[in-house]
Each structure stands twice: as structure tokens, then as C-alpha cells.
Amino acid sequence: MEKRKGFIFDLDGVIVDTAKYHFLAWKKIATELGIDFTLEHNELLKGVSRVRSLDIILELGNIEASQQDKDKWLIQKNEDYLSYLVDMNETEILPGVMKVLKFLKANNQPIALGSASKNARPILEKTGILSFFDAIVDGNDVVNAKPDPEVFLHAARLLNVTNEDSIVFEDSVAGIQAANIAKMLSIGIGHEETLYEAQYNFKDFTEMNSTFLELLINK
């Protein structure tokens, strides 16, 4: 009988790079508020919820704001972000991702998305890869942000696999921590010095070969 694991992918920075669109949308709001918001500051927002991200930006500018103003800016940020996504297509898929998705599908391995993004489905549709996913858990389905493992636990349940048989691909420290807390196998995609808590590290999916994927399936 063939072995069956559950493969759970984060979205931003793992499958597609929408980080640049988040940055542009946050920068627009920061500029309107007179806050100098740089790419370095943007790293602080990785894997963090929208609400917390806004608080971080306001803290950078020492700005106190009412909940009413915050709510208004959060809506504006999302509308700006979505306007940038309109032209998204399959060229936004990060290198090597398609090869891995196709290999897992060919080997009958269930695949889930586990992302904080509330716009995950439209992004998967626009990039033409929605059909690869057996389950999608996004920001609309969970309450707690990573490093709370809720998003991954929910994805494993939908795939009908145990936590120990779940493999998580993540590019954020909080995401790797969430996978480790859930006793799942964590694979960092990005800089090893940042994602040192991951059990395996790759710069991107082009470094991952079929031998390694077979090893994960048969582990």
C-alpha cells in the first residue's frame, strides 16, 4: 500500500510572492500618515495578522489612533492590495513550485493550503493552481495567527492525516514555529539563518528534488 502524507503549503512567499503587493499597500497608508516605511520594516510584518501589522506601522510613527480610524485603514489596505492582484497570473508562481505540486499529485499525496491570507482562493484561481489543492484553510477559517498552529491543525484534519504525517512548507519564523508546535515536519523556504528552527531548509523549491520528496512520503 502506498504511503500517504499530508503536504501543507503557506501561500505568501512560498507559492507566490505577494509580499511586494502587501508592501505597496502598507507603504501607501504609512506615507499618508507621514511614516517612513521601508522594506526592512516590512520584514517585521511577515506571518503577522493584518491587525497586528497596522499596529506595528503605527508604532513606527508613534501614532495613537482610534479603533474607527484603524478599521478604516485596514479596509483601505485590503482594497489597495486587491487592486494590485487584479493582474496576477501564473507568472507569479515562484520557481520550482509547479514541479513539486505535480510530483505530489502524481504520487496521490493530499495537498492543503494553510495561510493567514484572506485572499487565498482568488490568488490560487488567478495563478491557475486551485485544482492542485484538496483543502484550503485561510484567514477566513481561523481565529489565531501563527505561531499558533490552528491553521495547520485544521488543514491536517481536512486532509485526514495525523500531525506526525503532515509536512509544512513555510517562509516565516512564526509559521515554522507553528508547524513545530503541532509536531509536524517543518521545511523552511528562504534564508536558513532566519528559519534555523526548521527541520529542513531550502533557498527555494528549485533546490528540492524528487528523491527528497520520496523520502518525505516514505518517512
Residues with a known catalytic role: 10, 12
Alpha helices (runs of H) in 46-149, residue ranges in sequence order? 50-60, 67-85, 97-106, 120-126
Largest interatomic CA distance in the chain: 61
Residues 6 or more apart whose Cβ sits within 8 Å of residue 175: 10, 47, 146, 147, 168
CB 113 within 8 A of CB 8: yes
Q: Can you tell me the distance from the alpha carbon of 179 to that of 200, in angstroms, rounded to the nearest whole number?
A: 12
Count of CB atoms situated within 10 Å of the CB of 65: 15
Q: If we measure between CA atoms, which residue out of 107, 130, 154 comes closest to residue 15?
A: 130
